[in-house]
Amino acid sequence: MLRVPCEERSNWEALADEFGFKFHTMYGEKYWDESAYYQFSLGQIENGIEAPTEDIHQMCLAVVDRVIHDDALLTKFAIPQAQWALIKTSWENGDPSLYSRLDFAYDGSGVAKLYENNADTPTSIYETGFWQWVWLENKVDTQNLPRHADQFNSVQEKLVNRFKEIYALNPERTLHFACCKDTEEDRGTVQYLEDCAKAANIDTKFVYIEDIGIDKEDQFTDLDNQVITWMFKLYPWEFMFEDEYGQILGKQNIRWLEPPWKAILSNKALLPMLWKMFPEHPNLLPSYFEDELHLVPEDMELVKKPIFSREGANISFTNSRGEPLGSASDSDGPYGEEGFIFQQKYSLPTFDGNHTLIGSWLIDDQAAGISIREDANAITQDMSRYLPHVIC
Amino acid sequence: MKRTSFLDLKLMRKRSRTFVLAPISLAVMAGCSSGPSEEEVKFVKSVAECESTTSLSEADCQAAYEQALKDAEATAPRYQYERDCENEFGNCQRTSSGFFVPFMAGYIVAEIIDEVGDSFERKHRYRHSYPTYLYSGSGSYRNKIMTSDGFVVGSPGQRSYRMPREALKPKPAVTRTISRGGFGSAASAKSNWGSAKSSRSSRGWGG
């Protein structure tokens, strides 16, 4: 695994404009960064990332099955009791999942370690499935990369196929796509997924989360008063539970992407639960609930993460007893009311002074590709840059 | 290869995209034979007319009628004011949710033939049944048969009509929204945090 500096394509911004990739630069800072790429060997991809990704996904499903059937665990996962039935029903009905992203610390030589599972509302899929694919295509066409240069990326193809499979379970339904207002990044992500659904011959519509309404039967409606019967929402389940309409969830004849049972996987309580069920698994970091700190070896430093959090917010470093170390790297944020979990401190590898995080994408249960984020800080946050990769 | 070898870039372009509008009138297709993208349908005003002009049984004609009535409840063109409805469709009625909708002028049925055993024993069933209305507004669609979403089937009186399958897809149900905005407040509460970091409010809620 190498970081290779390279020339940017001279026309890439015009191309981004042509394809509607609007969030390549945010707040005056580069987000899409093609001044370098990461190079992997096929073995690193297949043995180091692809195989563990599919294994861990199966382990995660085992956790869901355990938690669903244990009220004490549902409480530990900070899931409101009013939503237990919704989540259980969706799991027992086998509601299909579209996608998720596992984040790994991996340097190409050791074993990839799971940081967390973005199972509910993962982003950067457009950059991964489409935009870095185009980058490699252009680089090969202009002979800046060898013809045999490959990439771990069948994301878009698998997405379209997965939409076809799920459509077969919801024939004739229109699929509504939704995200919050005023976020170009989320809007772009949802547009991409909508394009993939259209490619699967699905009728689609878009509605902003804030514009969703209800009729007198508590069915959800869009701005044309059309009843919503199938919805992809780039909006976390834990937010939906907290919102006003959270209390009527479960009354509608509606299918969700991601399904409600994903609330158990996008939850940091997943990490100590995985460690409990699969102790000493090479791809897992030791992780603990707040009431388990007595199990932590004396010399182990920990990372304290809120049960619900996005984009690296509210993360801090502690000693083995959970006491803060007051590190300059600690991040603040609006999360943590619902409790925390602790995970062994395990630093991201650095390449040319950048901390590098690998996102490994799953379409349903199949590993489909990777995304790479770089940050100057040890905790990758929402301003980390996206870099393409090749397999050579 | 770990990478998909071909992606259709045409589909992904956002600039200079062209949209294909659904055909509004069938007039241009009247002379064409029904290809795989079209279907032959019959327009009937009653169960009795259905029985006499199609190969369907009385029970099927009745079922098709009831299906059309049920669909009409969910999909009929809706008007807030009776006058607007009357201007376009003549006679209108008030629904339980307070809208005005035209009376169903009849329904169109598409037949399917089940081959049972050999071809001498064929059974006719109805595959689709859709409510239709008679447009009585001004302009070129006057006195034309129309579906709920404004698709013009043709002038009354023809033995059969050809319709694109696209137009025969079930119409989405519309309803009356009584409140909006019950989702999204959890996100906006979180985004009010930390005004020092101005970026927060415009970044997404994915991760």
Other residues' Cβ atoms within 10 Å of the Cβ of residue B11: 13
The residue that leads in pLDDT, B141 or A261, is A261
Q: Assign B139 a pLDDT band (cuts: 50, 70, 90).
A: confident
Q: Which of A123, A159, A183 to mutate to test the interface with B (most CBs of B within 10 A)?
A: A183
Q: Which residue has the tokens 């299909």?
A: A96
Non-local CB neighbours of A139 within 8 Å, separated by 6+ positions: A6, A9, A145, A149
| Domain segments of chain A as ranges | 2-266+350-391, 286-344
pLDDT of residue B114: 58
pLDDT of residue B123: 64
Q: Which two tokens stand for residue B159?
A: 């033995």
Q: What is the pLDDT of residues B12-68, one digit of tens each?
A: 887 643 333 333 333 333 333 445 678 888 999 999 998 888 888 888 889 889 888
Q: Which two tokens stand for residue A51?
A: 């195989």
Q: What is the pLDDT of residues A298-356, one digit of tens each?
A: 999 999 999 987 666 788 899 999 998 877 667 777 666 788 999 999 999 999 999 99
Please count the CA atoms within 13 angstroms of the CA of A70 that sit on its side-chain side: 12
**Angle, vertex CA B55, rays to CA B51 and CA B57, nearest 5:** 55
A50: nearest Cα among A153, A193, A165? A153
Q: Assign B174 a pLDDT band (cuts: 50, 70, 90).
A: confident
Contact A182 B201 (CB under 8 A): yes
A356: nearest Cα among A58, A51, A49, A136? A49
Residue B155 has pLDDT above 80, yes or no: yes
Contact A244 B182 (CB under 8 A): yes
Contact A212 B194 (CB under 8 A): no
pLDDT of residue A14: 93
Q: What is the pLDDT of residues A24-39, one digit of tens each?
A: 998 888 999 999 999 9
Q: Assign A140 a pLDDT band (cuts: 50, 70, 90).
A: very high
Q: Which of A29, A243, A330 to mutate to test the interface with B (most CBs of B within 10 A)?
A: A243
Contact A243 B173 (CB under 8 A): no
What's the rounded mean pLDDT across residues B187-199? 57
Q: Assign A363 a pLDDT band (cuts: 50, 70, 90).
A: very high
